Amino acid sequence: MTEIIIKLKNLNWLFIFLVSFLSFVGLVMIYSATFGEESKIFISHIYKVTFGFILMILVSLIDVEFWKKNAYLFYFIGLVLLLWVTFYGYLGKGARRWINFYGLNFQPSEIMKIFLIISLAKFFDEKKFQESRDYFFLILPILIVTIPFILVLIQPDLGTAMLILFVSVVIFFVSGINWKFFAFSGFLSIVVTPYLWGGLKDYQKQRILTLFNPENDPLGSGYHITQSQIAIGSGGTFGKGWTKGTQSHLDFLPEKHTDFIFSMLGEEFGFLGTLSVIGLICLITYITYHITSSFIHNNFNRIVGYGIITNFFFASLINMSMVIGILPIVGLPLPLVSYGGSSMLTYFIGFGIILSLDRESNYL
């Protein structure tokens, strides 16, 4: 018992505060998004945040060694869930992403990202770097990445699939893989892209094409992005005020409590609001870098830390880029802010792991 109290005492409470603050921003925005409507979503969000927070603390008490030991097992479980969802998943919005678990919808692709990161970390930790010059050695990690990537892609969930690929590339990079490998992969992906493009659903193609010219078809697929830009732009410096956003509350902004929550934040809290959230995300990322960079001789810890925080950081910035029109709308929530349980719980678990990394770094 005392051991647990000591562990709790040693937790990085600044980090916990920052993460909680980001969740609080989410609560504030979800409240506004559902303002004047039924409060079911807001109440449900409170439960999820509370549960997520507790989960993070619990995970932070587990030693990192546990994840290292069971990495492949978790990966295997995740893979089974992904396969299950591919065939028997609950169909929503034209995609098979969810497992209905006693009335709770659960999205295995989210948690799979964590399992993928720890599996790759374990793999690269155990192999010698010298071996990495041997390209055959890379077949296994490439498979580890490719299988979930394809399974998620065919759901279809372009956003998460891309994120999986991106985080994996970063992990390969951090693991010291030669640049020639990336050049080769890049070349390969250019060759493969037309085939991938052919495999995309029409609506996904449309979304990507819309990025290049959103105003071309304002009432069609460009409508969302145009309205989102109007919402953010019209917020100006200080915003229109909490629950006062006209774009959001008069339903011009689509999916304002999920993917487009950042647009609503921009409308109601202005440039100061969006800047603060970016600042918060950068701060969380920076602290994590600080923690992980102390593990000079522990590849697993280092890779896990980088992997998790890269996932968080890029998920955040891709979501923002999406709603402000830098990237196509691929359907990614804003971590900890958007409504949606699976994604949030996954990020809380990830932050729990970072907290236990931090705890360990104190003993170095």
Q: What are phi and psi of 241, to 5 degrees?
A: 105, 150
Instruction: Identify which range of 39-47, 141-149, 150-158, 314-322 contacts another protein by CB under 8 A.
Output: 314-322
Residue 24: exposed, middle, or buried by beta-carbon count in 10 A (0-12, 13-18, 19+)? middle
Q: Which of residues 140-169 bind another protein (CB under 8 A)?
A: none
Minimum distance between the CB of residue 95 and another protein, rounded to whole angstroms?
A: 24
Instruction: List the one residue from 119, 168, 227, 258 that touches another protein (CB under 8 A).
Output: 227
Interaction of residue 308 with another protein, rule CB under 8 A: no
Between residues 160 and 299, which has the closer beta carbon with respect to another protein? 299
Interaction pattern, residues 33-72, with another protein; x per rule: CB under 8 A: ----------------------------------------
What are the structure tokens assigned to 159, written together? 């956003």
26 is a site residue for another protein (CB under 8 A): no
User: Quick check: 132 binds another protein (CB under 8 A)?
Assistant: no
User: Interface with another protein includes 270 (CB under 8 A)?
Assistant: yes
Distance set, CA 100 to CA 44, 45, 153 (Å): 16, 18, 20
Q: Tell me phi and psi for residue 265, to 5 degrees.
A: -60, -45
Instruction: Measure the CA angle with vertex 202, ends 200 and 203; round to 5°.
Output: 105
Q: How far is CA 279 from the centre of its chain?
A: 17
Beta carbon nearer to another protein, 60 or 310: 310
Q: Which alpha helices (DSSP H) does the chain contain, by range?
A: 2-10, 13-33, 40-61, 64-88, 108-126, 139-153, 158-174, 179-199, 202-212, 222-235, 246-249, 261-292, 299-324, 341-361
CA distance 243 to 28: 9
The encoded tokens of residue 197 equal 């493009």
Applying CB under 8 A, which part among 7-15, 107-115, 322-330, 333-341 lies near another protein? 322-330
Residue from the set 11, 85, 153, 231 that interacts with another protein by CB under 8 A: 231
Amino acid identity at 159: G
Which of residues 96 and 233 has its CB atom nearest to another protein in the complex?
A: 233
Segment contacting another protein (CB under 8 A): 74-82, 132-140, 141-149, 231-239? 231-239
- Binding segment (CB under 8 A) for another protein, from list 11-19, 42-50, 204-212, 277-285: 277-285
Residues of the shown chain interacting with another protein in the complex, contacts defined by CB under 8 A: 129, 170, 173-174, 176, 227, 229-237, 246-247, 250-252, 266-267, 270-271, 274-275, 278, 282, 285, 289, 293, 296, 306, 310, 313-314, 317, 320-321, 324-326
